[in-house]
Amino acid sequence: MCDVIESFFQADEESIARMKAAIEADDLSTLRAAARMVRGSSQQLGARRFGETCAKLQSVEAAEDARPIVSDLERDLEGARDALTSLADRALDAAS
């Protein structure tokens, strides 16, 4: 389970970097595609707030409008990291 969670965060950090680059390039297509991918993976792990923020990114009309949402996404990623890490730690403790 820890490997799955770590892979999720690594991929999402890379996706956030792609989103930021897409904003700078005014590339809504890439921004939305990255948000869609991240949203799907977050839903699989139960990171609901993170997924909801990704949904907001999918509907922006201008790349510039995405800046504050990406900042929210970074904050939500940290919250998801804390929650999922805690869950994984409890699962490992219970298995011991």
Whichever domain contains 73, its CATH number is 1.20.120
Tell me: the pLDDT tens digits for 10-54? Answer: 888 899 999 999 999 999 999 999 999 989 888 887 788 888 999
Q: List, for residues 57-92, the tens digit of each pLDDT value.
A: 999 999 889 999 999 999 988 888 888 888 878 877
Q: What's the rounded Cα separation, in Å, for the pair 60 and 66?
A: 6
Domain total of the chain: 1
pLDDT at residue 44 in the model: 82
Q: Answer whether 0.85 is exceeded by the pTM.
A: no
For residue 1, name the pLDDT band (cuts at 50, 70, 90): low
- Give the burial class of 10: count Cβ atoms within 10 A of its Cβ; 0-12 exposed, 13-18 middle, 19 or more buried: exposed
Question: Which phi and psi angles does 62 have, rounded to 5°?
Answer: -140, 140
Q: Please give the DSSP secondary-structure letter assigned to residue 26.
A: T
Residue 50 belongs to what domain range? Answer: 2-95
